[in-house]
Homo-oligomer: A and B are copies of this chain.
């Protein structure tokens, strides 16, 4: 027997309350049954997003939300700036290029946060940049980019849109959509929102809707103006993912019961304990910049393969963490503390890492990191 622990940065564990809510009979998305369900979900998302803007709900992964954030607001040949500091930064570039945008990149070394002054310099130099794309939490490197600061910089530059992939940051980080000038912010269900994969959320500012008026990109599925029209009637453009939206209401209810500030504090506490515990056993964090509160990327010590750490955690101890991606593959492994995550998830992660590393010959004194985490997690 091997009990399983899901400590990956998505999908994340789904609470029983949410799973049970989703076991209710299917309702029809064009029937009156569904209207209050979507109404409640859209209001809840506005609360979570800290926005007065509409938050669209799409039947897709987070990447679908990213695609829609490109092809609804720009035109072929538009110049945009992508902050590319990891696998998901790169994805912004690929999507923008797939739609024929002229992409300028700020290449950020993996593990670092973008320097806001670099963005400011680019925008000052080139007034033609129509959008700035960034991740809040870059899942591949465990790095947080300074969204507040970046938002205030973009805001100063006329009608340039500020587009944030918050897929893995939402819930774990305080992201003040309206106050910080985030025009478009993408979220996904299988991360902090504690749902199965399958829906994406996108908030859109008035400034962005104005740009949407002039965008002539080919689109059919991710047609945000149609989604907006439908949302006003508590509908979605195509078949609504009714079960996931019912589950979303339950997870929003849980988050509201906890309180947004407490939710952020919990994630910060868990992330902080994870980072300090990991350092206490002599490991280095991969992020040199600001670390994400969603996921901790840990450098494997010399001579130890990060993929083997991942494999041992999973096969010997039942812990599904994440390895490294692309250029970080083998060099790091990643532990999430995102969504339905509490004190003992950190304890399990640290205890498991210690046991795996010791088993691989790394000189760790068992309990060292756990003790640090315990200290920080005491009530």
A→B interface (CB under 8 Å): 1-3, 5, 23, 254, 258, 262-263, 266, 316-318, 340, 342-345, 347-348, 351-352, 354-355, 358-359, 365-368, 370-372, 374-375, 377-379
A351 touching B344, Cβ below 8 Å = yes
Measured between alpha carbons, how far is A13 from B362 in the docked complex, in Å? 35
CB distance from A55 to the nearest CB of B (A): 23
A342 touching B3, Cβ below 8 Å = yes
Known A1-B258, A365-B371, A371-B366; contact A348-B355, beta-carbon cutoff 8 A: no
B3 touching A340, Cβ below 8 Å = yes
Known A370-B370, A370-B371; contact A344-B3, beta-carbon cutoff 8 A: yes
Nearest chain-B residue to A5 (Cβ)?
B344
Q: What 3 A-B pairs have minimum CB-CB distances, sorted nearest first?
A: A367-B371, A367-B367, A3-B342
- Across the interface, A355 reaches (CB within 8 A) one of B5, B318, B374, namely B374
- Across the interface, A254 reaches (CB within 8 A) one of B1, B340, B348, B378, namely B1
A348 touching B359, Cβ below 8 Å = no
Across-interface contacts of A354 in B (CB, < 8 A): 374
CB distance from A314 to the nearest CB of B (A): 12
Measured between alpha carbons, how far is A370 from B368 in the docked complex, in Å? 9
Nearest chain-B residue to A377 (Cβ)?
B355
Across-interface contacts of A351 in B (CB, < 8 A): 344, 347, 351, 370, 374
How many copies make up the complex?
2
CB distance from A370 to the nearest CB of B (A): 5
B317 touching A343, Cβ below 8 Å = yes
Measured between alpha carbons, how far is A351 from B351 in the docked complex, in Å? 10
Across-interface contacts of A318 in B (CB, < 8 A): 342, 344
CB distance from A102 to the nearest CB of B (A): 45
In the complex, 26 of the A-B residue pairs with CB atoms within 8 angstroms, ordered by the A residue number, are: A1-B254, A1-B342, A3-B342, A3-B343, A3-B345, A5-B344, A23-B23, A316-B379, A317-B343, A317-B379, A318-B344, A344-B351, A344-B352, A347-B347, A347-B348, A347-B370, A348-B348, A355-B379, A358-B378, A359-B378, A365-B371, A366-B370, A366-B374, A366-B375, A367-B370, A367-B371
B367 touching A355, Cβ below 8 Å = no
Across-interface contacts of A372 in B (CB, < 8 A): 367
Measured between alpha carbons, how far is A1 from B359 in the docked complex, in Å? 34
Across-interface contacts of A359 in B (CB, < 8 A): 378-379
Measured between alpha carbons, how far is A313 from B54 in the docked complex, in Å? 43
Measured between alpha carbons, how far is A341 from B196 in the docked complex, in Å? 26
Measured between alpha carbons, how far is A344 from B349 in the docked complex, in Å? 10
Measured between alpha carbons, how far is A262 from B1 in the docked complex, in Å? 9
CB distance from A281 to the nearest CB of B (A): 11
A342 touching B2, Cβ below 8 Å = yes
Measured between alpha carbons, how far is A251 from B370 in the docked complex, in Å? 33
Across-interface contacts of A358 in B (CB, < 8 A): 378
CB distance from A342 to the nearest CB of B (A): 4
CB distance from A273 to the nearest CB of B (A): 12
Across-interface contacts of A374 in B (CB, < 8 A): 351, 354-355, 366-367, 370
